[in-house]
Amino acid sequence: MRFFTAGESHGPQLTAIIEGLPAQMPLTAEMINNELKRRQGGHGRGRRMQIEKDQVLITSGVRHGLTLGSPVTLTVVNDDWKHWTKIMGIQPLSEDINPEDIKRQITRPRPGHADLVGGMKYGHRDLRNVLERSSARETTMRVAIGAVAKQFLRQLGIKTVAHVTEIGGISTDPKSYAHLEVDELREIIEQDPVYCADKVASVKMVEAIDDIKGRGDTLGGIVEVIVEGCPPGIGSYVQFDRKMDGKLAGAMMSINAFKGVEFGLGFKMAQNPGSKVHDEIAWSEELGYYRKSNRLGGLEGGMTTGMPIVIRGVMKPIPTLYKPLESVDIDTKEPFVATIERSDPCAVPAASVVAEHVIATEVAKAIMDEFRSDTMDGLVDEINRYREYVKEF
């Protein structure tokens, strides 16, 4: 499976093309729209999300609710486009357009965003040409692709969930979710304003977001993605670029503003001896091989172990601040302190939805690379056979 996304934040629409999906897989727009709605939500989002009502249009690759095996094209219209048609016009500027109608060029780069370096790299002196594509608006399509990937994984009995474990230094108590199955955890976080399983922490997180917003500042945090039901042996140790942990970490780091990744015990492994980090191996008639603990987060030697994959990512605070940091105007070279039109004070809950979908996409892609069949039923049969084989190995 391969895929691309395209589209500017305030352009007419966002597009994704996915190629390599098996044929005969059930797929409807509704399956994707529910996830797009969740990405738009979460306490801490700014005014743009009140304008957009993200709904996907499937324009190829599906007929009567089933994939055809041909490329699937997904599009989402930017409702905000109607306010930006002149500023974001595709045609060359014509004489009948009054330059006064077009907003001033952006010459004031925000620290922490792509503005300055992107401008240097692509020769854009109007930094809007950078921010339009570097915007996390693009994550809409990664969630749309991930929703398709999740639909694929569901046919194979593989479930995913993501939840927020920290915002602005307020952490969840792992006891609040460690005992929960993926479906139970999902049910809880879907009712929560910050997609967090710990009710006490959630209340404090909402307060912290409101407080930081009032102070013109922003907050980051940590999200955790869990993938349950993945067979062992996805990924490989035989070549560095086939290692599954590397691919998953890359996917997580590809999300705007994500700055670190850990698996299982993660960075706490540095504080523990090997006996408290590695997971003992056991076998039972019912389960086949399993681990007595899952401190490594479901990966050994670049391969899935069959235990749940547990991966966390840290998101830095949003760089656009109402109380801005100092920067330099690229035309005058003078320092300035910017005025901001709008921004998200905290997008960690929304980013947890993105994280779940980019991880689901990577797992689905790896499975499609590993098992070859052009039909969904064929793939299900192949994986079931493989699951029997590894159980008895």
Ligand X SMILES: C=C(O[C@@H]1CC(C(=O)O)=C[C@@H](OP(=O)(O)O)[C@H]1O)C(=O)O
Among ligand X, ligand FMN, none, partner that 233 touches (CB below 5 to 8 angstroms by kind): none
**Can you tell me which of 129, 140, 160, 305 binds ligand X, judged by CB under 6 A?**
140
Evaluate whether 304 touches 248 at the Cβ level (below 8 Å): no
Q: Which two tokens stand for residue 203?
A: 């209340």
Q: Which two tokens stand for residue 148?
A: 């398709």
Among ligand X, ligand FMN, none, partner that 354 touches (CB below 5 to 8 angstroms by kind): ligand FMN
**How far is Cα 13 from Cα 66, in angstroms, rounded to an integer?**
24
Closest separation between CB of residue 137 and ligand X, Å? Answer: 4
The tokens 């693009």 sit on which residue? 138
Closest separation between CB of residue 276 and ligand FMN, Å? Answer: 33
**How far is Cα 14 from Cα 143, in angstroms, rounded to an integer?**
12
**How far is Cα 308 from Cα 225, in angstroms, rounded to an integer?**
10
**How far is Cα 393 from Cα 391, in angstroms, rounded to an integer?**
6
Classify residue 26 by its DSSP letter. B
Among ligand X, ligand FMN, none, partner that 351 touches (CB below 5 to 8 angstroms by kind): ligand FMN
**Can you tell me which of 344, 345, 363, 371 binds ligand X, judged by CB under 6 A?**
344
Evaluate whether 13 touches 27 at the Cβ level (below 8 Å): no
**Under the rule (CB under 6 A), what is the footprint of ligand FMN?**
46, 112-114, 134-136, 139, 255-257, 316, 318-320, 343-344, 347, 350-351, 354
Bridge partners, 224 (sequence order): 163, 312
Residue 301 is labelled as binding a ligand: yes
| CB closer to ligand X out of 48 and 312 | 48
| CB closer to ligand FMN out of 164 and 350 | 350
Q: Is 136 in the site for ligand X (CB under 6 A)?
A: yes
Evaluate whether 255 touches 384 at the Cβ level (below 8 Å): no
Q: Is 46 in the site for ligand X (CB under 6 A)?
A: yes
Piece of the chain touching ligand X by CB under 6 A; list 147-155, 197-205, 342-350, 374-382? 342-350
Closest separation between CB of residue 330 and ligand X, Å? Answer: 18
| CB closer to ligand X out of 25 and 223 | 223
Query: Which is it for strands 56-60 and 72-77: parallel, antiparallel or unpaired?
Result: antiparallel
Q: Is 5 in the site for ligand X (CB under 6 A)?
A: no
| CB closer to ligand X out of 315 and 330 | 315
Closest separation between CB of residue 253 and ligand FMN, Å? Answer: 8
Residue 45 is labelled as binding a ligand: yes
The count of C-alpha atoms lying within 13 angstroms of the C-alpha of 34, restricted to the half-sphere facing its C-beta, is 9
Residue 94 is labelled as binding a ligand: no
Residue 316 is labelled as binding a ligand: yes
Closest separation between CB of residue 354 and ligand FMN, Å? Answer: 6
DSSP for 321-342, please give it.
-SSPPPEE-TTT--EE----S-
Helix axes of 376-392 and 348-370: crossing angle, nearest 10 degrees: 80
Tell me which residues in 58-117 interact with ligand X (CB under 6 A): none
DSSP for 112-172, please give it.
TSSHHHHHHHHT-SSTHHHHHHHSGGGHHHHHHHHHHHHHHHHHTT-EEEEEEEEETTEE-
Residue 212 is labelled as binding a ligand: no
> Which residues in this chain contact ligand X in the complex, by CB under 6 A?
9, 46, 48, 52, 135-137, 139-140, 256, 342-344
Annotated binding-site residue numbers: 39, 45, 133-135, 256-257, 301, 316-320, 342
